[in-house]
Amino acid sequence: MNKQQQPIAATYLLLVLYCVIVSLGPLLFLFTTAVSTADPLTGEVIRYDLSNFEEVFYDSYYAVQIGYTLGLVAGITVVTLGLAVPLTLTIARLKNRARSAWVVMLLASLALSEVLTAFAWQLLLSQSSGIPGWLSYSGIISGDKAWWPSFPAMFVVLVYFSLPIAMILLLPAIRRLDPSLNESAYTMGFSKTSVFFLVVLPSLRGPIFQTGILTFLLNIGGFVISQQLGKPSDWMFAVFIADFMRTFNVPFAVALSFCLLIAVLLCLAVAQLIFGRKPIEAS
């Protein structure tokens, strides 16, 4: 190995060590936990088998819950991207000072924790001091019921929580987008709407896909907002995992999280197949 190759080899070694320590090691440890069964009295592991996984698939309940969670998170991702792309395009076109103000505001909202966000929205949607109360007081709506817990409340807050992250991720890519791409399409006679769908969106395909993946992954493990603003029937899969953790059935909770992980990996593979490939004309 020559002197030039040494730093490259060291980099790869560091990468392997990082993967083992941060990903593979804990994953292996968790898998060992998932296939273990402990004595309820002593807490000692009495056997290793797949009984926890068998229990997950004993009936379709958990599969349905996983499907619901994946669908919900996919929906949140789509709505978030649907809002983030035009909003970020608008912010990117602003003058420096206004754009900086927006970036500071987005970063500030990122600093809020999920718990704080959930509580703030609980207040906003509450009957006594929130939006429903004000609207009822001003006679715009009748009744004085709080708007949470409900599916729409949970969905809106999850989108609200994801939106600044998505916008911050998209902003550099949108800022780099050559404005003459749009202008050249205008000179070809295309309308602003056509240019958005035929030029802007396809040109941003990579960043949008990456932001979508990150938004999806960020939400799949979230449970605070879901539990605080949704009804039990609306809860996401992570709430179940957390519940089993709290009741000390850790091996079963880990088995559930493994099933969720596999489902997420399958979803990502499908997304990569559909959206990830680069279109190349092959005439």
Partner 1 sequence: MSQVFDGTSLSDVAVELDGHAILRGINLEFAPGSFTSLLGPSGCGKTTLLRVLAGLQQPSWGTVHRGTKDITHSPPADRDCGMVFQTLALFPHLSVIENVMFPLRRLKLPEASMRERALELLRMMHIEEVAPQPIDKISGGQAQRVAIARALAQGPHMLLLDEPFSALDAELRDELRTEIRVIQKQLGISIVMVTHDQEEAFTVSDQVVVMHGGAVEQVDSAVALLTSPATQFVAKFVGRRNELSCYLESGCLYQADTNKLVARDVDISASHSSDQYKVYFAADAVVSSGELEAEVLFHRDIGDFPQICARCSGTTVWINNLWPDAQETIQFGLDMSKAFIFTDTPCE
- 189 touches partner 1 by CB under 8 A: yes
Task: Provide, rounded to whole angstroms, the least separation between the CB of residue 105 and partner 1.
Answer: 25
Binding range to partner 1, per CB under 8 A, among 63-71, 84-92, 128-136, 197-205: 197-205
- Kindly tell me which of 209 and 244 has the beta carbon lying closer to partner 1: 209
Q: Which of 23, 32, 184, 247 binds partner 1 (CB under 8 A)?
A: 184
The structure tokens listed for 66 are: 């996983």
User: Is residue 234 a contact partner of residue 154, using CB atoms and an 8 Å limit?
Assistant: yes
- 96 touches partner 1 by CB under 8 A: no
- 209 touches partner 1 by CB under 8 A: no
213: how many CB neighbours lie within 10 A of its CB? Answer: 17
Size of site (CB under 8 A) for partner 1: 24
- 278 touches partner 1 by CB under 8 A: yes
From CA 212, how far away is CA 101, in angstroms rounded?
25
Q: Which of 47, 176, 205, 231 binds partner 1 (CB under 8 A)?
A: 205
Answer whether the bond into residue 149 is a cis peptide, omega within 30°.
yes
- 92 touches partner 1 by CB under 8 A: no
- 279 touches partner 1 by CB under 8 A: yes
Q: Backbone dihedral region of 37: left (phi > 0), alpha (psi from -120 to 50 degrees) or beta?
A: beta
- The residue type of 124 is L
Residue 242, classified by CB atoms within 10 Å of its CB into exposed (0-12), middle (13-18) or buried (19+), is middle
Q: Which of 5, 60, 187, 233 binds partner 1 (CB under 8 A)?
A: 187
Exposure b/e, 157-191, CB count within 10 A at least 16 = b: bbbbbbbbbbbbbbbebbeebeeeebeebeeeebe
- 203 touches partner 1 by CB under 8 A: yes
User: Is residue 70 a contact partner of residue 264, using CB atoms and an 8 Å limit?
Assistant: yes
- Kindly tell me which of 100 and 184 has the beta carbon lying closer to partner 1: 184
- 180 touches partner 1 by CB under 8 A: yes
- 172 touches partner 1 by CB under 8 A: no
| List of residues contacting partner 1 (CB under 8 A) | 178, 180-181, 183-191, 194, 198-199, 202-203, 205, 278-283
